[in-house]
């Protein structure tokens, strides 16, 4: 029989259409189920990167080359405020993730926008701190200690900036596609990433800043 005549002679029944739709949804689900695992593997690789940076900073923390150390350079109240801003952004992100029922997209977008503003404020404070250190003549080329400091804190800042770009994309997708399964899965990955950066910054605040004033 001519294959081109098969759809005409044997039109699809409702049961066939339903089975095909189910199979397509099943394969789509199977493909999407690998996303969380892949993202966890990415986070583990990021953990290794930050572990190396922390280890490098620990080794070089005493190599100031006769220059200023953290006690002379850092303003602990400012860094504490910076930390509170990032912690608050993690809290507002959590509030956004709780608003995932069918009619909650506008409220979720509002909380995500608050998270974006707080994350942008954190980056602005970090840029201000770097600019202040450079103005004081304490750039990364002054000593191994400052080089390790700028590398560690700057790498975290680049991650937060990437998270802000991702956050902006997700706000756009929620507005245009709603809270479908794909958007929810991407939001779950972004939530893991954002809370991971929050945890890394707590380690930075404790290991890099607080230890200088202990």
Of the listed ranges 2-11, 27-36, 116-125, 172-181, the least confidently predicted one is 2-11
Q: What is the pLDDT of residues 93-122, one digit of tens each?
A: 999 988 776 568 888 999 999 999 999 999
Work out the end-to-end distance of the chain between its first and last CA atoms, rounded to an integer number of angstroms: 85
Cα→Cα distances 109→159, 170, 172, Å: 22, 9, 9
CA 173/CA 169 separation, integer angstroms: 6
Residue 31's pLDDT is what? 44
Domains in the chain (CATH in brackets) are 36-213 (1.20.120.80)
What are 21-57's pLDDT values in tens digits? 444 444 444 445 567 788 889 899 999 999 999 999 9
The pLDDT value given to residue 7 = 46
Pure H helices in the chain: 6-9, 14-32, 34-60, 70-73, 76-97, 105-135, 144-177, 181-204
Q: Which residue has the higher pLDDT, 45 or 213?
A: 45
Question: Can you say whether the dihedral through the CA atoms of 170, 174, 178, 184 is positive or negative?
Answer: positive
User: What percentage of the chain carries pLDDT values higher than 90?
Assistant: 64
Which has more confidence, 152 or 105?
Answer: 152
Burial class (CB in 10 A: 0-12, 13-18, 19+), 115: buried
Please provide the DSSP assignment of 109-135 as one string. Answer: HHHHHHHHHHHHHHHHHHHHHHHHHHH
Q: What is the dihedral of CA 71, 75, 76, 79, to 10 degrees?
A: -130
Given a cut of 50, whether residue 20 has pLDDT beyond it is no
pLDDT of residue 25: 41
What is the rounded average pLDDT of the residues 172-187? Answer: 90
């Amino acid at each position: 029989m001519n294959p081109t005549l098969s759809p005409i002679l044997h039109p699809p029944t409702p049961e066939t259409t339903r089975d095909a739709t189910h199979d397509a949804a099943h394969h789509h689900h199977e493909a999407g189920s690998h996303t969380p695992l892949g993202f966890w593997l990415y986070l583990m690789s990021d953990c290794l990167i930050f572990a190396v940076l922390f280890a490098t900073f620990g080794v070089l923390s005493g190599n100031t080359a006769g220059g200023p150390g953290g006690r002379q350079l850092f303003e602990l109240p400012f860094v504490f405020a910076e930390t509170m801003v990032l912690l608050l952004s993690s809290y507002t992100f959590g509030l956004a993730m709780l608003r995932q029922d069918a009619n909650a997209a506008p409220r979720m977008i509002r909380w995500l926008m608050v998270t974006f503003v707080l994350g942008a404020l954190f980056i602005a404070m970090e840029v201000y701190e770097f600019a202040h250190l450079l103005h004081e003549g304490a750039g990364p080329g002054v000593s191994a200690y400052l080089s390790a400091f700028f590398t560690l804190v700057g790498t975290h800042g680049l991650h937060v900036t990437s998270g802000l770009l991702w956050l902006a994309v997700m706000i756009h997708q929620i507005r245009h596609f709603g809270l479908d399964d794909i958007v929810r899965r991407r939001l779950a990955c972004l939530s893991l990433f954002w809370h991971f950066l929050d945890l890394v910054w707590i380690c930075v605040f404790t290991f890099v800043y607080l230890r200088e004033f202990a």
